[in-house]
Structure 1
């Protein structure tokens, strides 16, 4: 019987360092068809690409060369290992465009945070814009003094460095939520230096984590980070393929333009296409039909059997996520339909007294809980609580907290059982002065050996500095979070970063980075009860470094795929963090000072809304102020924390079944993923779920197995084109017609755009 540690969720695992070398031989052979060790000049690369594009259709035996048997093989069968070490990455053009797009992204992200419609700044959008601007700058004169401005053709390494820097900056950091809530609701305005260092310190903690984990989670082929494949493939297509004759590039721009035009229809002209459900079209007066079959509006319903034609909602995850990840997600979604309907219509936790889907907190009579009346001097007041009475969640929201904790507990057992042999040699060779002791053979990493690695002690210094910044800003910011509680949270965050990053690296599952807030708020509610501000700081220093760690590891892998020197990746991340922190803060202060009344009002205005700050404050009060009352031994939701312990044991049935029937495939089932998705439809828009399921199975099973050559050449470039065209037009529509820059301009009302009904014609959810 095989050792259990030689299995992972759908992938093989090695027994020793030597096995890493042996198991990579075939992958190295596969990569050889895309690049050779000796070919580095442009003419040789062009011949390689031409041969790859014009290769005639092979017989069935030859098709095996392209067939992706194990998910991680896409790293060498889809991506070229070609490198040109002489290309300059750090040029004037890199810093000029990097700083420009970092500033653009950071400002835009902060504006979006305070808008009624919250959007993110897409890295694909920045990738395409920077490609156009980089090539425009390459048209400038390149002789004499102009050589400094234009050193030659815009190259791959400049482009990747720009995107790593700008995408790092183009977010509204979690610390902004804490700072803005303190300003708006607690009359505590942090001074600029303290606020900016809080932003920087909370992010650098995650970078320190990433540096300690990169040997395990970046270098090996098995850790292939699925979400980076389509991005790396697009970089290589744009810079390595012949722009006039390459089928991949022509396909990219064709699909890009089609999506650019098409997305105007579902997003603006014909919004019914965002969620077509025949049940609601037949009966738009039934709350049961709305709850079960609706889902085109936020918090409307579960979207059972609905279909979506809006790629902005579907996204390319179904095209690049490995098959078994999607199957586990689909199992969880099927459980969602059963569990959410059972909890609500079974009237568990007085479910029918509250909305079917909501993230608000309610009083016993069904009205929203008066949270601000609960506090005295910013802290829980038991006398006022007696007057207000107990608080309640919607039943589906409480179920989501439970399944998230079940999933979190299951992650410990699952990862340590199936991945222990991967983790063990890393821990044994954890020498802070020598990263090379953990030897990994990978076709892409072998090419990276020509560049200077980042000494691990750099990350230790970075982590120590970030810890000092966190403790000092935490104290000076009057967070109420003791130093020992912050230290405990950071240790938990580092541990969970390892576990969740393994899942993100091997199967592309990174949803824990967005769902971890509730877990950390629950922990802080027990460490520091009755203090909402301390609770928000606890969520900041727990969840944010964890998310930043995974983002940094992903960038390091993208750098490995595109052969960007590691020290350049590190530099771009730090620059992006500093630029983003400063501009995030400047824009936040400007917007709050000019629109304080609108941000504090429940409805906001058509231009500005404090909904994100309000939601973060609500969570802080509910967990920080009411945690023991709601989740304690006598609380209505006392099972929520207990689910953490229960979850630890839930992978055991699959493990036992694998021992009994080792060839039956039980190692492919991931309990953490199934549980995480078993109440995933309790929030947001849900009509895209069914379309994503079908497209994912079609791409990752039918196309991958029946047409492996087409899959390896085009699947990931199509994914990038679908997202790219969608995100560029979405950005334009947001400013042109959706009101981000001023007055909104809705499309004239007609049957497919009935402004009085929800997009899918279901009964509108109750307010």
Structure 2
């Protein structure tokens, strides 16, 4: 608990200086690592924790000065925005926690799988679950008896640790696993219905490998304050506002619920009544007949255009991402977006790869006449047939989609070398931990980690055993499931996956920048095309075991950091995450079986019905065809898209050049913070989806992370993240309701009547609609 008595400023300053002198000398000599017998291992950490609690008390009481409110780095966020408070006596593993955790895990996993097969895909968001769980937990607390034997069912107030454990369990389960795509595609397109046991163990294996990777990485990427995981700061701040701020009497809580209610009501307008607000483009309002205007300035509809200079008033598209992403990460992203406008226009209007024959933005593959490619015509027994291919002819991507593949591989290569050169100190504990004869201990200077030392850690061998079990399951199911994916191929893919998982988890932890799942699917599809040429089924398994562990590890490491912020005991965190993985996998599969069996005809049609669609499965299958069956024909040396694999090696060079310049001019802030991997990742970022929110989001990010943070440090520290959570929470709750009630997710769609702001002849921003 934080002290309520402020410490005199001069004493405070001397205290900090003394601690920093002690720790900086150790850090400089040993790189945060010292021997096990180091005498001052615990003392500096305990002193820092005490000092953080005293600073927290001053910040809360308003007696701190502006310099103390100013957030300058990751450490400042962790102790100024979030509380280090730990109410040790609070119960965590209660009947209520397990009941709500299992219930919301079932709810989230069923919904996620249900909407995977819907025309409008709905993702179960973390903010949505957090708020709904809070309401149900408080209702449980207030309405059920809590005396005598009922104390087991209702153990008093619904506390922050129970709430956090329920959310982590439910959020772990609330996704449609990549393995479901493999299972459903094999059933729908290759007449290979997997045995239930094989299917379930494939799901569990792919999920648990990612969790094992996360466990092995947590010492390097969860414990330190430099790894502050920007994406979990907002939910952690909401937790503490709801449970630590004194209910509705707190100013922060009042602001949270006021903004939540406002955006809940407001979002009905742009999402249903007045969709023009999703993207206001002056150019499209002036001329809605020109495809050039649409391609460059439009972007409010899917695959429409770049959205240059458009303004969005729809928080569902804007989101709070740029309110919590670090400023330099955003600036690198903005540079990449600026390059996107130039590069995408250049490759299309320059007719690179015959781009003018195909749509400006599309993820489909085409024949030489610009028609959609007949994929089934090149297969025999589900394998590539070169004779049939010679008759059908070559396949093409849209120019902007090909550009995306190149920049994605450039970014992957750059990510690896950037992380190794710039974040070696953060990764060093991970490599030391892999050495069973390691004689050194990693000293973490993080107040939240110090507060967690009273709890037992999860032994590393738990994660190693989990990895061994999951690996054995994957090998067994690959052979018994007729995946054509050999033992050595799986082993190589997992080694590569661990390599990239380490890199992307590092960037997620420090920069708030992470992978794009389509990028990883494409990369591992490319690797699979060389391992098993001409085999789309094997290619799907390469994508599954390559990308899923990375996606899963990022999600689970974020939850481990959230657990550290909320002071949830590590073994409890392990328990709820594993349970969430298992419940999610089982119910994903049960729902998939039911839907594919009863809606097979609708799922196999291109358009589907108003209630059911196989669009996601079709897309995954198309990727397997293009990378698996056609990989060598499209990407080998001398072929049209040979630069896609070559760009992986080229991308690795850029950070090396930057690092050399940084070593020559180490005080140059630009060379230190410029990140070629982020810039390259965003250099074709607008090649898919809705893009009118990009400029608005960029401006809000700079306003929040630079202007407000520097000019109004008190307001930023107290309210920035709670405002972000309120806007996201209200938006996601009303979006969920609108999808159920009006957008066709649980019944017939109910469109708003046609009018000027909702003119169905045009795109949402009144640009010329793209050809369907």
TM-score (norm 2): 0.93
**Aligned partners of 2:331, 2:467: CA distance in 1, in Å?**
38
Counterpart-to-counterpart distance in 2, 1:535 and 1:231: 37
The answer to whether the 8 Å contact 1:320/1:716 transfers is yes
Q: Deviations over 1:707-764 (max 9, x none)?
A: 1111111100111101000000000001111111111111121111112221001111
Cα distance in 2 for partners of 1:717, 1:470 equals: 42
Deviations 1:517-547 (A, max 9, x none): 1100000001110000000011000000111
672, 676, 682: which one aligns with 1:677: 682
Counterparts of 1:167-186 in structure 2, within 5 Å, are 167-186=171-190
Match of 2:419 in 1: 415
Q: Does the aligned pair in 1 maintain the 2:122–2:736 contact within 8 Å?
A: no
C-alpha separation between the residues in 2 aligned to 1:172 and 1:711? 36
- Decide whether the 8 Å contact of 1:631 with 1:638 is kept in 2: yes
Counterpart among 728, 731, 734 of residue 729 in structure 1: 734
Instruction: Name the counterpart of 1:160.
Output: 164
After superposition, the Cα gap between the structure-2 partners of 1:259 and 1:436, relative to the gap in structure 1 and judged at 3 Å, is: farther
- Map of 2:100 onto structure 1: 97
CA contact (8 A) 1:170 1:580 kept: yes
**Whole-angstrom CA distance in 2 between matches of 1:24 and 1:320:** 31
Q: Is the 8 A contact 2:291 2:768 kept in 1?
A: yes
**What is the number of residues matched between the two proteins?**
740
Aligned match of 1:43? none
Relative to structure 2, which stretch is displaced further, 67-76 or 528-537?
A: 67-76
Find the residue that maps to 1:504 and give its secondary structure: helix
Name the CA shift for 1:174/1:18 in 2 (closer, same or farther; >3 Å). Answer: closer
Q: Structure 1 residues 163, 16: CA separation in 2 closer, same or farther (over 3 Å shift)?
A: farther
Matches of 2:45 and 2:92 in 1, distance apart?
Answer: 28
Report the secondary structure of 2:247's partner residue: coil
Match of 1:404 in 2: 408
Match of 2:547 among 543, 549, 552: 543
Partner of 1:65: helix, strand, or coil?
Answer: helix
Matched position secondary structure for 1:740: coil
Contact 2:101 2:170 in 1 (8 A): yes
Q: Which one of 376, 393, 412 corresponds to residue 389 of structure 1?
A: 393
The structural deviation recorded for 1:99 is: 0.9
* Counterpart-to-counterpart distance in 2, 1:389 and 1:19: 58
Q: Which moved more, 1:513-522 or 1:175-184?
A: 513-522
Tell me which of 65, 79, 82 is aligned to 1:79. Answer: 82
Could you tell me which residue of structure 1 aligns to residue 229 of structure 2? 225
Which segment drifts farther, 574-583 or 349-358? 574-583
Post-superposition shift, 1:652? 3.1
Residues 116, 607 of structure 1: 8 Å contact kept: yes
After TM superposition, give the deviation of residue 86 of structure 1 in Å: 1.0
Q: Does 1:135 find its partner at 2:138?
A: yes
1:239-278, Cα deviation, whole Å (9 max, x unpaired): 1111132111111101100110110000001000001000
Q: Structure 1's 471 and 740: CA in aligned 2 closer, same or farther, altered over 3 A?
A: same
- Partner of residue 528 from structure 1, selected from 504, 526, 532: 532
Judge conservation of contact 1:30–1:76 (CA < 8 Å) in 2: no
Please, which of 445, 452, 458 is the counterpart of residue 448 of structure 1? 452
Q: Say which of 692, 695, 701 aligns to 2:697.
A: 692
Shift of 1:20: 7.5
How far the C-alpha of 1:23 sits from its partner, in A, is 13
Deviation, 1:662, is 2.5
Where in structure 2 are the equivalents of 1:113-262 lying within 5 Å? 113-139=116-142, 140-262=144-266
Residue 740, structure 1, aligned to residue 758, structure 2: no
1:35 matched residue in structure 2: 53
Structure 2 contact 33–441 (Cα < 8 Å) conserved = no
Query: Does the 8 A contact of 1:426 with 1:438 survive in 2?
Result: no
Instruction: For residues 98-124 of structure 1, give each alpha carbon's deviation from its aligned partner in whole angstroms, at most 9, with x where no partner exists.
Output: 111111111110111011111210111
Rounded to whole Å, the distance in 1 between the matches of 2:738 and 2:617 is 25
Mapping of 1:339-738 within 5 angstroms? 339-432=343-436, 437-665=441-669, 666-738=671-743
Aligned twin of 1:40: none
| 3-state DSSP of counterpart to 2:148 | coil
Structure 1 residue 217: Cα displacement: 0.4
The 2-side partners of 1:433 and 1:18 are apart by: 19
Per-residue deviation at 1:477?
Answer: 1.0
> What's the CA shift string for 1:609-650, capped at 9, x where partnerless?
100000000000010000000001121000100001111111
CA offset at residue 441 of structure 1? 2.3
Cα deviation, residue 298, structure 1: 0.6
In structure 1, how many angstroms separate the alpha carbons of the residues matched to 2:714 and 2:42?
21
Distance change (3 Å), C-alpha of 1:131 and 1:434: farther
Post-superposition shift, 1:373? 1.2
> How far 1:345 sits from its partner (Å)?
0.5
Partner of 2:22: none
For 1:156 and 1:434, how far apart are their aligned partners in 2?
A: 37
Q: 1:672 to 1:121 in 2, by over 3 A?
A: same
> Could you report, residue by residue, the CA deviation over 1:210-239 in whole angstroms, capped at 9, with x for unpaired residues?
111111000001000010101101111111
Contact 1:407–1:647, Cα closer than 8 Å, also in 2: yes
| SS state at 2:739 partner | helix
CA shift in 2, pair 1:14/1:307, >3 Å: farther
How many Å separate the matches in 2 of 1:760 and 1:413? Answer: 41
Q: Give the Cα–Cα distance (whole angstroms) in 1 for the partners of residues 79 and 160 of structure 2.
A: 18
Give 1:432 deviation, angstroms.
Answer: 4.8
The Cα of 1:29 is off from its aligned counterpart by 7.8
In 1, Cα distance between equivalents of 2:462 and 2:700: 43
Shift of 1:68: 1.2
Q: State how 1:254-293 maps to structure 2 within 5 Å.
A: 254-293=258-297
**1:54 Cα deviation after fit:** 4.4
Secondary structure, in 3 states, of the residue corresponding to 1:306?
A: coil
Alignment RMSD: 2.0
Q: For structure 1, which segment, 244-253 or 292-301, has the greater mean C-alpha deviation from structure 2 after superposition?
A: 244-253
CA distance in 2, matches of 1:462, 1:757: 53
Distance 1:574 1:432, change over 3 A: farther
Q: Quick check: 1:31–1:76 contact (8 Å CA) kept in 2?
A: no
SS of structure 2 residue aligned to 1:511: coil
Contact 1:520 1:543 in 2 (8 A): yes
**What's the secondary structure of 1:481's corresponding residue?**
coil
Following the alignment from structure 2 to structure 1, what is the Cα–Cα distance between the partners of residues 54 and 286?
Answer: 61
Deviations 1:411-453, CA, capped at 9 Å, x for gaps: 1221111112332354235455989822212100011111110
Q: Is the 8 A contact 1:17 1:440 kept in 2?
A: no
Shift of 1:193: 1.4
1:55 corresponds to which of 34, 48, 62: 62
CA distance in 1, matches of 2:257, 2:439: 41
Return closer, same or farther for 1:28/1:718 CA change in 2, 3 Å cut-off. Answer: farther
Query: What secondary structure, in the 3-state scheme, does the structure 2 residue paired with 1:84 have?
Result: coil
Task: Please give the TM-score of this superposition, normalised by the length of structure 1.
Answer: 0.94
Shift of 1:145: 1.6
CA contact (8 A) 1:500 1:512 kept: no
> Residue in 1 aligned with 2:756?
751
